[in-house]
Structure 1
Amino acid sequence: MRVLMFGRGVISTIYGHALQEAGHDVEFHVRKGRAEQFGDEVVVDLIDARRSPLGMRSRLAVPTRLRESVGSADGFELVVLSVGHHHLEAAAEFLAPRIGDATVLVLGNVWDEPLAAVEPIPATQVVFGFPQAGGGFDDDGVLRGALMRTLIVGRSDTAPSARQLAVRGAFLQAGFTIREEKDMRGWLWLHFIADVGMHAQGHRHGGLANMIGDRRALRDAFLITRELLPVIQARGVDLRRHRRAILPFRLPAQTSAALAWASTRFAIAQVSLAAHTDPDAPEPRAVIRDALLETRRLGIPTPRLDAALSSEGVR
């Protein structure tokens, strides 16, 4: 399959490498001037759970074929779009006239109505998914990341579409297992409010990296997410369809904290959290800002979230 990764960030690089390794023809679209700046490879220090349940660590130079332009005649079959939710509109407007009939896999956070968030790309060309990977670039340009074996992909309530099947096949070929979500809209919004809880505590503690092993911070993050559940319910999400996903936020606070603390003992989680050292980075600020705007629009009180942000200047 001919694949275009939009950007050469953490998620694009990790998944682009996996697809490339599986035999797919992968290129990376970057902004003008970045191809020369980035060069033709990335050094990646990766913990990869596709090869071992706890993750197998390897350090390798990943070749990256970069391009600074793209057109409908380029023949891409799949475009992987993974940007912050606040950049989705601009990215979709850029891609829509340039990708022909390619399937667009939106891989990341979404807070607007999903299809509206990626207009004017035709709805029939879009598949929503969510990555199970993370990490960051260090000062030397090395990507230190972690990759889970599972990829989450949305599907129709009835049978999966041909495009969903094509996406599924490409990633299965790359060694992933696929978890299908029929209510992808609800799942995306549930993940978004979980991010709000984590980033709000990240602001309080100086970054997610400082929360590794901190039971109280992790407990407070879970409690913020719990008080945001009525927000997505008011937006039309049937929480009964996500019983398993919301269970950790329904448990007693100390139990949730213990589970969260235990999860950060794994190297994969530590690598992902350790990359988030800047609580004032644009993405976490945008996540918190947009959640707050929605709570106010709906008139839903969020005292724990407000308290976490009261001295951080993000309200």
Structure 2
Amino acid sequence: MFGPISGSIDDPTDIKNLMVDDCIVNPYNIIIQHVVGSSTRMINALGESNMKILFFGRGVVSTQYAWAFEQAGHTVEFYVRKGRKETFGSRIELEMWDARKGKKLIKESWNVNLHEEILPNYDLIIVSVNTEQLPEAAQFLSTAAGNTPILLFNNIWQDLKSSIAPLSMNNVVFGFPGAGGGIADNKLRGGFLKMVLLENPRAGTEPINNKVKALFESAHFKINWVKDMQNWLWNHFARNAAMEAEVLKRGKFPSDPEPKRTPFPMLG
């Protein structure tokens, strides 16, 4: 950037003018330009890291992760069905445990941005719906989402490829949340863990995986990578089925001699 420098600063406290390409330059100016330039680059980098995320539905899981991502500086919005925007309103009451750093109880009235249509200006769409709702959601998103990448973030007991048809597997990555709770009378009670599960990149999904990874890590979540998400989900369902069968047999959950460290069950 500069040519050869002549002159010297024998005493660091004695700032003298230096010669740069036969021009007199005050070192203070160089320092100030360096600091300002570095700050500008930092601001640009932060601006570029901000993502615009659309959550499909304003459910328990979606709301908690949306809140966490907004806290990390991202823009979060929700797609809801026709008529739900007026029903839900622009705020939701939160009472949830944030277990990313210890265990912190969050209580606040949170403003939410709801839409009844999907615009083609999002960096990522996150879908967390009931299993029986997935075929309808996939059909809708196959046309409404355009080329926006999608994170499927919920239980899926069917074959993954057939369960999301007609969505392309090259535009979808699969994950599993560490969150739970319920919503009643527009108040969410629940909590979320530090850990989330994401599938290892498949051929063609590396850019989406990297984007999802950057998003979660920016909000201080820890990612556990799963080599075979289909197999993990089937095993997860099998364990849940076995536990529920035992509950039906006993009429209650087996007693746990040690108190749980989190206010909701760990991932299966």
Looking at structure 1, the residues matched to 250 and 182 of structure 2 have their Cα atoms a distance apart, in angstroms, of: 19
Deviation track 1:2-54 (CA, whole Å, cap 9, x = no partner) reads 111000110010111111111111111111111111111111111111121xx
How far the C-alpha of 1:61 sits from its partner, in A, is 1.7
**Pair 1:184-2:229 in alignment:** yes
> Which of 132, 144, 147 in structure 1 is aligned with 2:192?
147
Q: Does 1:87 align with 2:133?
A: yes
Relative to structure 1, is the Cα distance of residues 33 and 159 closer, same or farther in structure 2, using a 3 angstrom cutoff? closer
Higher-strand-fraction structure: 2
Count of aligned pairs: 217
Whether 1:49 aligns to 2:99 is yes
Report if aligned partners of 1:41, 1:63 keep a CA contact under 8 Å in 2. yes
Is 1:265 the counterpart of 2:236 in the alignment?
no
Aligned to 1:37: 87
For structure 2, the 5+ residue unaligned runs are: 1-50
Post-superposition shift, 1:77?
A: 1.6
Residue 160 of structure 1 deviates from its aligned partner by 7.1
**Partner residue in 2 for 1:14:** 64
What is the CA-CA distance between 1:203 and the residue it aligns to?
5.2
Q: Normalising to structure 1: TM-score of the pair?
A: 0.64
1:135 maps to 181
Query: What whole-Å deviation, never above 9, does each CA across 1:93-146 have from its counterpart, x for those lacking one?
Result: 0111011211110011111111211111111110000000000123x3211111
Q: Give the Cα separation in 2 of the matches to 1:38 and 1:80.
A: 19
2:26 counterpart residue number: none
Distance in 2 separating the partners of 1:205 and 1:142: 32
| Higher share in helix | 1
Q: Which amino acid aligns with 1:265?
A: K
**Aligned CA distance change for structure 1 residues 119 and 160 (closer, same or farther; 3 Å):** closer
Describe the shift of the 1:201–1:59 C-alpha distance in structure 2 as closer, same or farther (beyond 3 A): farther
- 1:72-221 aligned within 5 A: 74-138=120-184, 140-156=185-201, 161-201=206-246, 211=253, 214-215=254-255
Compared CA separation, residues 123 and 202, structure 1 to 2 (3 A): same
The runs of at least 4 consecutive aligned structure 1 residues that moved more than 4 Å come to: 157-160, 201-206
* Paired letter, 1:266: R
**CA spacing shift, 1:30–1:158, aligned 2, 3 Å:** closer
Q: Work out the CA distance in 2 between the residues paired with 1:128 and 1:203.
A: 31
DSSP 3-state at the match of 1:94: helix
CA distance in 1 between counterparts of 2:177 and 2:212 reads 13
On the 8 A contact 2:171/2:205 being kept in 1, the answer is no
| Residues 1:58 and 2:106 are matched in the alignment | yes
Query: 1:189-226 deviations in whole A, cap 9, x for unaligned?
Result: 111222223444555677xxx63xx33xxxxxxxxxxx
* CA 1:148–1:137: 2 relative to 1, 3 Å: same
C-alpha change, 1:186 and 1:30, in structure 2 (3 Å) is same
Question: What code does the residue aligned with 1:87 have?
Answer: Q
After superposition, the C-alpha distances for 1:238-264 in whole angstroms (9 at most, x for unaligned) are: xxxxxxxxxxxxxxxxxxxxxxx2576
Using the alignment, how far apart are the partners of 1:262 and 1:167 within structure 2? 38
Could you list the per-position Cα deviations for residues 146-171 of structure 1 after superposition, in whole angstroms to 9, with x for gaps in the alignment?
11001100013789711101101001
Q: Which structure 1 segments of 5+ residues have no match? A: 216-260, 273-315
Please say if 1:24 is aligned against 2:74: yes
Partner AA of 2:76 in structure 1? V
**8 A contact 1:157–1:182 mirrored in 2:** no
Asked if structure 1 preserves the Cα contact closer than 8 Å seen for 2:124 and 2:149, the reply is: yes
Q: Percent identity?
A: 34
Distance 1:78 1:265, change over 3 A: same
